[in-house]
Amino acid sequence: MLLSLLKHSFLRQKKAMAMMVVSVSMGTAIAASLIALSMDIKGKVSKELRSFGANITVTPKIEGIAGIAGQRRYLREEDIIRIKTIFWRHNIVGIAPALEENAELSYGDKRRKITAVGTWFKKELPLPGETAKFEAGVTTVSPWWAIEGSPPEAGGVVLGSSLSRELGVREGDEVLLDERPFKVTGIVETGGIEDGRAFLDLWDMQQLKGLPGKVSTISVSALTTPMDEFAYKDPSLMSRKEYEKWYCTGYVTSIAKQIEEVVAGGRAKPVWHIAETEGIVLGRMSMLIYLLSAASLLASALGVSTTMVAGLLRRLDEIGLMKAIGADGIQIIVIFLSEALIIGTAGGIAGYVVSIGVAKVVGLKVFGVALSERALLLPVSVAMALLIAAIGSLLPIRRALKIKPAVILKGAR
């Protein structure tokens, strides 16, 4: 009986029903593609944060009079390989030194004060006491750097993308760095501050600045155990058993501590606060996305509600009659909710299909990557659509329940 009632209800108000399905599917599509976006971005970013990148930086310790006088201190290049001798040597998967100094870059008649960085792009280091070699360099700690051209050899330089655009320099041109000529072997784009810098081989930089054997920072990429509460404990307050476990556990803190021990005058710090700030930004962004989704869902719920109320007004007599022959509130609610269920399911599936397309286009336009479709979003979309339809039918149901059975009778008003 219910099926027959629903069938007739849909057949008689095709337009209104189609309107409601469209309204639900639009709201669902927007919400679903927003959620897909947020899931994807979060996934991509956190994956990158987790799997790549330096997670420990070593900088010179600043202390005593040198700290007050602001005199620069340096690390020694020969200490770099000692990082591969610590207890956790096998977990060190990438090392890149850097010597950062201010320099003047000129090309034709254009001049710029820039930061020049001497580093290794890719360099095989012999391991002490082992036959295997270790590959160090920027590519091991920052694999996302996109270099057009080739890494700088002796006498070569790689310019950041915005710097090269500003100066109009192309690969193969010659630039002057502190009045010394260098050949541009490539352009690097990272999306970070590196885009405004110039990179040359560490040895060249040391010669240029007269700092032989010196580096200013060492970035280390280590495979670590995720931090848990235990990891945040102060090692000096641990019991012997705990300390043993801490020592045997590759937390980023314990690895950093051991690096500090082998790099003279160095201070090794985990760089997790970068990840934390990114996390905050991501959190705010997904908050915004959820708010937007909620707003679009609400809007389409309103659409459903007004259409349904309009349909209801045409069916007042019918509902009055049903009540007169004995339909109670629950039975009336069942009829309306079943309609909402059908509208919601249809709208949810349609919305999901639309959202796949939307997420693809938006992802490509805004983020430059096609977002992967997720099967999980189908049930989520349908659930959201059902929610919209249910919320939208709340008001019509209230109206329907208020109808007195006597409306159809002559003489009573």
Partner 1 sequence: MMDFITVRGAHREYQTASALRGVDLEIAGGVWCSIVGPSGSGKSTLLNLLGGLDSPTKGQVFIDGVDLRTLSENEMARFRREKIGFIFQQSYLIPYLSSLDNVMLSQYFHSMTDSSEAEEALKRVGLGHRLHHRPSELSGGEQQRVTVARALINSPKILLADEPTGNLDRENTKLIMELLKRLHEEERFTIVLVTHDPFVSKWAERIVTMEDGRIIKDEPLY
Partner 2 sequence: MSLFISEAFAVGIKEGFKLWLVWLVFSSLLKEQDRPGLMRPFYLGLALTSMLFAASFLAAPGQQARGLLVGLTGYTFFIFFLSSALALYQGAGVNLFGPLRLTNRHLLRAVITASTVFYFSPDIIGSSMFVRDAAEMKASYAGVYLSAASGFILPLIFIFTPVQARAGRLVSGYFGLPQFLLFLSVIKLLGGGIKGFAEFSLMPLVQAGLMKFFHDVVHQTFVYLMVPDHPMLNTTAWNFVGIFFGSNISIAATLLLLLIPPSVFLHQSFLAPVPEPGGGAATGAERRMFKSSVVADRRRKAVPVIFFMAFILISWYSGAGDTASRLYNPKPKPVVEDKGQVVIPFTDPTMDLLDGRLHKFSLVSGQEAISIIVIKKPDGGLAVCLDACEICSPEGYGQTEGKVVCIYCMTPIPVSTLGRPGGCNPIPLNAIITERDLRIDVAEILLKWKDVKTGKTKGAAE
The window from 16-24, 85-93, 150-158, 305-313 that contacts partner 2 (CB under 8 A) reads 85-93
Q: Which does 330 bind (CB under 5 to 8 A by kind): partner 2, partner 1, none?
A: partner 1
- Pairing of β 217-222 and β 214-215: unpaired
Q: Which of 223, 321, 324, 395 binds partner 2 (CB under 8 A)?
A: 223
What DSSP element (H or E) covers 386? helix 377-402
Distance CA 59, CA 260 (A): 10
Q: Binding of partner 1 at residue 337 (CB under 8 A)?
A: no
Q: How far apart are CA 33 and CA 381, in angstroms?
A: 10
Bridge partners (DSSP) listed for residue 58:
218, 268
Please report whether residue 50 would count as binding partner 2 according to CB under 8 A: no
Q: How far apart are CA 348 and CA 123, in angstroms?
A: 55
CA-based nearest residue to 55, from 196, 278, 252: 252
Among 328, 357, 370, 372, binds partner 1 (CB under 8 A): 328
Of partner 2, partner 1, none, which one sits near residue 244, judging by CB under 5 to 8 A according to partner kind? partner 2
> Which residues from 295-324 bind partner 1, rule CB under 8 A?
317-318, 321-324
Q: Which does 143 bind (CB under 5 to 8 A by kind): partner 1, partner 2, none?
A: none
Residue of 82, 89, 315, 399 interacting with partner 2 (CB under 8 A): 89
> Whole-number minimum distance, CB 311 to partner 1, in Å?
14
Residues 122-161 that bind partner 2 (CB under 8 A): 130
Q: How far is residue 279 from each of residues 51, 106, 229, 327, 369, measured CA to CA in Å?
A: 16, 39, 19, 55, 21
Provide CB contacts within 8 A for 249, sequence distance 6+: 225, 231
Which conformational region is residue 85 in: left (phi greater than 0), alpha (psi within -120 to 50 degrees), or beta? alpha
Q: Among partner 1, partner 2, none, what binds residue 93 when CB lies within 5 to 8 Å by partner kind?
A: partner 2
- Beta-ladder partners of 117: 100, 199
Rank residues 228 and 328 by Cβ distance to partner 1 and give the closer one: 328
Helices (H), 185-271: 202-209, 240-247, 252-262
Size of residue set near partner 2 by CB under 8 A: 20
> What residue ranges bind partner 1 (CB under 8 A)?
1-2, 4-5, 8, 12, 317-318, 321-331, 404-406, 408-413
> What residue ranges bind partner 2 (CB under 8 A)?
87-91, 93, 130, 223-226, 229-230, 240, 244-245, 247-250
